[in-house]
Structure 1
């Protein structure tokens, strides 16, 4: 059996809505011990999110339910404020009596998929006769008040006492408003104090809300938590590995061998100390002419405990030098501590193949102090360590691994595994609430119009492989960004990144990641972007291509104007995917360009006459009167640009063709001017500005940061 699902309500950042985590299935290592290395990724659930998003709270609530130590600060404050506001409005006594008091709730689902190897006696009370044959068992956990009547009576007394009203009988409107706010704060603090003084009990219920007595989650879950980043002492490794040696010494054979060695050391020290120092000291005592004869013996009392605590020290061997642990890097020390905890976990693991507990191993933010390469290889390192640890043990290790992280490198290593997006729970944070997004490979893949066709399935699979491969290079940052911009060309990529770094409005306060997709492939990310719910702008070229008629110049330069636009067709897959059209005449006037959290922007008419088809052409038109910008073009193309710069609007399409093979040089030259010339100002095309304004409004609620 394994823990399939955890639903948290009213705990810390989690309000009274459902917040469901889906966990990777635990697998027996017994069969894997004979097959090279243990598959860590398939049994690992990755909990990812930004800093302070609530990742650790999942581990904390499991700990608190098992150990029963909730406090008033564990409640979700927004939930408590809403509860208090509703309670204060109740005037009917019967309604007040029936009004449910504050609780913290956690619902879990246990799957009996592997029931043949486990004892399920602990779950009998949660199984209904009608559920026989159903592999999923639901357990509801509630942290509840013992005496709800007493709690409400005390709360009513608090609500009656309005100290601000008594002290301020006459007030103007501002004073009344301030007094009301102060009173609300006072009442809420008193409410929290009342909760802290009240007795709560953790109760368990079936899916039908029938109370189950004499049950504790500790009977079902064996939880081991590895908390990293706590390297605060110089002897962290000494303490960790001393603990392991104590466990290893529990073996009778090893214990006897070590006892014999310690006995021999004590005997040898006894003889040498007494021969060298004791006899001489006793000779001096004999000269005191005491009435009784005294003789002192020096005893060596070395024990395993004193050996571990005071004698043994851990050092690293590097290039034949022994380096004290205090001088070694924090990243490696942190990794050694994780390995030490894993070793301790394996030694503590029950040797029985049949057990009645679900084993959960959690590692909290293992990336602390580690450099990117170590983070990238962490899952492989853990697999190697576990493989070696269980190789010589006659134990059937069946454990679910849960890792919380905000490392894009650890995430990327998980994504590149065969399991891909499966078993990733992403915490999406909003202003006042958060939501859990359970990612799967199927959810990220775009569905074909007719998924039954083999060709469509193959296309979907190729698209999915493209996303996975592309994420290797960059896109895992998307999970930790406040917003995202997708571009398809190197020019816009470089210039937009530079603008964001030097933005003078509120956008500079957010982490906005820019993705160079390369070609019009941004539509493949639609499901991922929508799942992550971060505001995203896709900046793409309209790719209007001539398909019929028109004159020689149009055919040569692909020049789009208001008069000939009917002869063109849109070849951009992203635009066609979102707008379901390839007609430029429809797309040029399209205003409905927002799809949930995604805005699509591309080139449209300039001055109602010509329509650029690339970012470079649109940039030229936007800066046609910008002398500093035009100097860059003259510098790069001294001869070819003469004709174009005489009439930018008429020859903008020729400019696009002229720089087709020099876009990187063009972008770099503009960047150089921006960095070195204080008078250089760059105007961005209108469609780019619209995209950035969308991000501003989405992130701050204002346009242009105003």
Structure 2
């Protein structure tokens, strides 16, 4: 099945003949003389050299022995997941022209991201998109390929996608959607944790595929503070009414995505944060105020039942004693949410944000859901329904 356009060994007389052809410099880069005066291909070729060599050989050294295209339909049928990956490694990675149709995340998780032709049903017929012209840098490409592992290979099959920052959101967003009466699975919506705030390559990727998406990210509020002649952002503070010179790191990040991915100019993005949030939401970006945990606490500051749920859960999970449990309860009541979050993350409590979110997802109520998360879930539901 392998494409033999590029031979691994060329006899000396043929090599000398090829050297007179236009573009033959690539031969000297890719072949070295062996012990029997034949020329052997070097074991490691860059992608650019490989493409140039293929083009040269296809023009001047065609073997005229036919060209094979291997087509496989649904290779996952009756095949163990481990063997599905073997198909890719043993067949797809060879120099073979291959067409494969699949619904298997085991195969899509290891397929090159620039080799995808994505078909999806819409009310206007079948939409066909390709990642062949995906315009992202080398580092972002590596991040994407590492990201789309077996867990996230299903991103291709979602009717809609929610991009989130971390594991806490991974537990809570599906649960919040259930509480709102908008379960994600029933709409084919996938919640994808990118383990960072670097959403840009994923936005470009989903735009290339034409898959509807929303992004949920922390606001990461900061106060601009004078330090000598410089003004520096100070994080770890709650937003107060008397704060005048402040900002949101989340808004700054989304603003840059609109410029880099959506064709906006700096001047087209309003300075006022309420207007920014309106613009962002229209394009599928939903930004909190602080972190999600603090925004949840802020949401229930007047709700005793919902605060009791958080207190009880902390008391059940913490390794600390009665004093720590009481301090958490008092600080939650006093609105000292940063201190409460620090206790969740503290080694003394032994909880961590991920574990807390996992248990909280079972007992949370609709009242715990911050407005920006409600907006994101409602938005992705609407976008999927419009297909």
Unaligned runs of 5+ in 1: 1-25, 40-110, 119-352, 387-397, 416-420, 446-459, 604-611, 675-679
* Alignment partner, residue 123 of structure 2: 431
TM-score (norm 2): 0.69
The CA deviation at 1:383 is 6.8
Structure 1, residues 609-640: CA drift from partner, whole Å, max 9, x if none? xxx41101111122230514433335255122
Counterparts of 1:548-697 in structure 2 under 5 Å?
A: 548=225, 557-568=236-247, 570=249, 574-579=253-258, 586-590=272-276, 591-594=278-281, 598-603=283-288, 612-624=289-301, 625-634=303-312, 635=315, 636=318, 638-648=325-335, 651-661=336-346, 662-673=352-363, 682-697=367-382
* Alignment partner, residue 531 of structure 1: 208
In 2, the alpha carbon distance for the partners of 1:543 and 1:666 equals 20
Counterparts of 1:126-275 in structure 2 under 5 Å?
A: none
Q: Tell me, yes or no, if the aligned pair for 2:177 and 2:377 is still in contact at 8 Å.
A: no
In 1, the alpha carbon distance for the partners of 2:244 and 2:171 equals 30
SS in 2 for 1:589: helix
Q: Tell me, yes or no, if the aligned pair for 1:566 and 1:584 is still in contact at 8 Å.
A: no
* Alignment partner, residue 58 of structure 2: 114
In 1, the alpha carbon distance for the partners of 2:152 and 2:171 equals 17
In 2, the alpha carbon distance for the partners of 1:629 and 1:377 equals 51
Q: Which structure's CA Rg is the greater one?
A: 1
2:102 counterpart of 1:405: yes
The CA deviation at 1:382 is 3.2
In 2, the alpha carbon distance for the partners of 1:466 and 1:382 equals 24
The CA deviation at 1:641 is 1.8
* Alignment partner, residue 365 of structure 1: 74
Question: For the structure 1 residues 524 and 572, does the alpha-carbon distance in structure 2 shift closer, same or farther, using more than 3 Å as the test?
Answer: farther
TM-score (norm 1): 0.40
In 1, the alpha carbon distance for the partners of 2:384 and 2:372 equals 19
| CA RMSD, 1 decimal | 3.8
Question: For the structure 1 residues 506 and 368, does the alpha-carbon distance in structure 2 shift closer, same or farther, using more than 3 Å as the test?
Answer: same
Question: For the structure 1 residues 500 and 373, does the alpha-carbon distance in structure 2 shift closer, same or farther, using more than 3 Å as the test?
Answer: farther
In 1, the alpha carbon distance for the partners of 2:304 and 2:60 equals 76
Q: Tell me, yes or no, if the aligned pair for 1:379 and 1:410 is still in contact at 8 Å.
A: yes
The CA deviation at 1:520 is 0.9
In 1, the alpha carbon distance for the partners of 2:328 and 2:204 equals 43
Counterparts of 1:412-491 in structure 2 under 5 Å?
A: 412-415=109-112, 421-440=113-132, 443-445=134-136, 460-472=137-149, 474-491=151-168
In 2, the alpha carbon distance for the partners of 1:383 and 1:653 equals 50
Identify which of 221, 234, 245 aligns with 1:544.
Answer: 221
Structure 1, residues 430-453: CA drift from partner, whole Å, max 9, x if none? 22222322213x5141xxxxxxxx
Question: For the structure 1 residues 622 and 502, does the alpha-carbon distance in structure 2 shift closer, same or farther, using more than 3 Å as the test?
Answer: closer
2:64 counterpart of 1:354: yes
Question: For the structure 1 residues 569 and 627, does the alpha-carbon distance in structure 2 shift closer, same or farther, using more than 3 Å as the test?
Answer: closer
Question: For the structure 1 residues 572 and 411, does the alpha-carbon distance in structure 2 shift closer, same or farther, using more than 3 Å as the test?
Answer: same
* Alignment partner, residue 236 of structure 1: none
* Alignment partner, residue 320 of structure 1: none
In 2, the alpha carbon distance for the partners of 1:510 and 1:565 equals 43
The CA deviation at 1:425 is 1.6
In 2, the alpha carbon distance for the partners of 1:543 and 1:383 equals 43
Q: Tell me, yes or no, if the aligned pair for 1:363 and 1:404 is still in contact at 8 Å.
A: yes
SS in 1 for 2:75: coil
In 2, the alpha carbon distance for the partners of 1:641 and 1:505 equals 32
In 2, the alpha carbon distance for the partners of 1:511 and 1:32 equals 47
SS in 1 for 2:326: coil
In 2, the alpha carbon distance for the partners of 1:365 and 1:412 equals 15
The CA deviation at 1:568 is 3.8
2:13 counterpart of 1:31: no
